[in-house]
Amino acid sequence: MEEEEMRKPWVDQDACIGCGLCVNNVPEVFRLADHDKAEVYDAGGAYEDTIQQEAIDICPVSCIQWLD
C-alpha cells in the first residue's frame, strides 16, 4: 500500500546543469551520472518531504519533478 502511494522524483537531464546540489543534499536518492547530469537511482531512499525541500525546491533550474 505505502509503495503504491509513494511518488517518484525524476530529473529532466536535458535541463540539469550538473550543479550537484541534489546529489549533495540527498545522496540516498540522487547521483551524478557519467555525463554529469543528476539521476534518480533510489526513489525510495528518502522521505518525500526531504526530496521536496532538499532537492526539488533548491534546484537552480527546477528540473526535478514528481512523476504521477
Q: Which residues bind ligand F3S (CB under 6 A)?
A: 11, 16-23, 38, 59-61, 63-64
Q: Which is nearer to ligand F3S, 6 or 61 (CB)?
A: 61
DSSP one-letter code for 16? -
β-pairing verdict for 30-32 and 64-67: unpaired
Q: CB of residue 68 vs ligand F3S: minimum separation in angstroms? A: 19
Q: Which is nearer to ligand F3S, 2 or 14 (CB)?
A: 14
Q: CB of residue 11 vs ligand F3S: minimum separation in angstroms? A: 5
Q: How many CB atoms lie within 10 A of CB 64?
A: 25
Place of cell 533510489: 42
Nearest to 9 by CA among 58, 35, 42, 37: 42
Q: Which is nearer to ligand F3S, 21 or 43 (CB)?
A: 21
